Structure 1
Amino acid sequence: MDDAKTVRFMSFLRKRCRVNPSRGPFHLHSPNRILWRTIRGMIPHKTPRGQAALQRLRVFEGVPPPYDKRKRMVMPMALRVLRLAPGRKYTVLKRLSSEFGWRYQDVVSGLEDKRKAKAHAYYEAKKAARRLLAKAEKEVETELAPIKEQLAAYGY
């Protein structure tokens, strides 16, 4: 998000019903709800197809437990390096949210630090196991050479 979006969000927060503000519009301060509402504005959310798409959409702060062990993907067309011009000012959604009233940035960053430490430990153990496997394969490579030739003859 560039800095112009910060100003635009401030302008959005000023909009309210003059007679009874509890009638809306509702200003959601948490980063996942801001993103959810932004995506809602991009799809036809009043049609059954759009409503089904919104029900399938899941947005979180950080990476919660069911997803922390899954492979993560990168959307190249959403990368800041590709979307914003060099030298352009930008802001991060968690900073914007915390400036406008979201109180859980410290909690989420603490949980994310724990998750990253756990993931790093797992990855180091996985690398060590991979090295041991490669070493073991190298040790028995000469013994397995005739068997591999026989398997190659059968197409394996």
Structure 2
Amino acid sequence: MNRMQKLGGLLAGMALTALAQAEPLNIEGIGLSRDVSCKGQDVNISGNANVIHLKGDCGAVEVSGSEHKVTLDTAKSLSVSGVEHEVVAERVNGLSVDTTDNQVRATVAGGEQPALVEVTGADQTLDLQFEGAVKLDVGGTNQQVRWRGEEPEVQMSGIDNRVERQ
């Protein structure tokens, strides 16, 4: 095999590896219980009443459906939509919570750009630790956001929403 063939094979292998890493990990079902190593991948969790622990560094994590219990170490972003989820994240760089009656506890860390936290829908309960610059946007109805750490830039709209320092 000449040098060009070896180089071509190496580049093709690298491209396949990059494509494999770009594929999100989809976890869908009812009543599943799993520990998953993220390895930098994006993760989508859907269905009902799954108990999932995401280990290591995750890309974008999306939780949808209903009644999931999710814990995760770190993620570039966390999006929670649906009904009655319980999510605990050690550290995320962005957070979105939508629909109704979700509970989220997380450390949100801003970097060079402020981290964005968006809360919409109704009856969400968030317990957040802020590190670095954070923009907090709360809308919808009857949201409860308790925070500690560095003071965020807060924008509020909607009905009966509360943002309180702990």
TM-score (norm. length: structure 2): 0.21
Which one scores higher on RCO, CA 8 angstroms, separation ≥ 6?
A: 1
If each structure's helix is expressed as a fraction of its own residues, which one has the higher value? 1
Structure whose CA Rg is larger: 1
TM-score (norm. length: structure 1): 0.22
